A and B are shown apart, each in its own frame.
Chain A
Amino acid sequence: MLILTFAVTCIAPLTWAHGAGQHVLGTVTGIDATHVEVKTPKGKIVDVQINKHTRFREKGNPKGVNLPSVGDRVVIEATKDDKALIATEVHFSPAKKPVAPAQ
């Protein structure tokens, strides 16, 4: 009876909530093993954490093992906890390398 009372009074009012996933689009301005820093098209700098579950997907080379580097375009799928954005998947396309001037 006590358990039932506890369940009804304490658990029942607390079932559904709502939230949203996050996407971060932009150009990589910094990256290391724990985070990637992205400059969005609006000029905002966004820091996204990376962990062992983060997956990287290179455009046009989905089975590749490359990681994004500074200057690459990224679309990051992330979840947000209380303090930080945590990347679940990082899609990136390498920055176009400047063509050397013709001699």
Chain B
Amino acid sequence: MRTKFLTFITVVVIGMVGAFGWMGYRLFTTGFSAKTEPHVLEVLMARQIRHLAIPIEHRNKSNPVPLHADVLKESLAHFADHCATCHGNDGSGQTPIGKNVYPKAPDLRLADTQSMSDGELFWVIHNGIRFTAMPAWGEGEPEKDLDSWKLVHFIRHLPTLTTEELDQMKTLNPKTPKEIEEEAAFDKFLQGDDSAAAEADRGHHH
């Protein structure tokens, strides 16, 4: 019995040394980049950890905010202002930040997110996810964080977002003075002003 136990411990220790050795080798030779896609095993483990990190009574909570047109309108504006920088207005995650963080911002329209319970979505918005770029947005008591519950409704609405809603969101996205200047230059270019291309060319453009 004791021999078996020692064998087990030895195998575990060798396994851990091997894993650390492999990670060390990767770190000091090739380095890690946030640009890479997470390994499928890592995704599986991370999702399990996220799932387990949400207390069961919170997972099963239902949305206390009734779904209403005004709620969707309000949460659309909230999402455009706070979330779209990383997640994109359409929730695809196809933004300069969302595509380059590790792990990548998920496509919120797909089953991996839509299959989460309302309680899980709320928890993620309110508490964030450790070791990812997702911050904790909630302040104070979760029971009073109705804005995050409203966002849960909007996340459910993302797969059926209309073109008109996307256009509305674009007007609500936060913009830097530089971006406002660029938009004006793009407009002038479309109107036939070639000099506007030089103005717009000062940023990250072709």
What 0/1 pattern do residues 63 to 99 of A give for CB contact below 8 A with B? 0000000000101000101000000100111001000
Within 8 A of B (CB), among A41-83: 41, 44, 46, 53, 55, 59, 62, 73, 75, 79, 81
- Write the chain B residue with the least CB distance to A2: B16
Q: Does A40 contact B (CB under 8 A)?
A: yes
Q: Is B200 a contact partner of A25 (Cβ separation < 8 A)?
A: yes
Main SS class of interface, B: loop
Residue of A20, A21, A62 near B167 (CB, 8 A) is A62
Q: List 17 A-B contacts (CB under 8 A).
A: A2-B16, A6-B45, A11-B131, A12-B131, A14-B34, A16-B102, A19-B99, A20-B204, A21-B95, A23-B186, A23-B203, A25-B186, A59-B190, A73-B189, A73-B190, A75-B189, A93-B192
Question: Quick check: is B132 within 8 A (CB to CB) of the other chain?
Answer: yes
State the B residues within 8 Å of A (CB): 16, 19-20, 23, 32-35, 42, 45-46, 49, 90, 92, 94-97, 99-102, 130-133, 163, 166-167, 182, 186, 189-192, 194, 197-198, 200-201, 203-206
Interface residues on chain A, number (Cβ under 8 Å)? 40
The interface residues of chain A lying within 8 Å CB-to-CB of B130 are 7
Q: How far is the CA of A46 from the CA of B196 in the complex (A)?
A: 19
Instruction: Verify A15–B190 contact, CB threshold 8 A.
Output: no
Chain A residues within 8 Å of B, Cβ to Cβ: 2-3, 5-7, 9-26, 40-41, 44, 46, 53, 55, 59, 62, 73, 75, 79, 81, 88, 91-93, 96
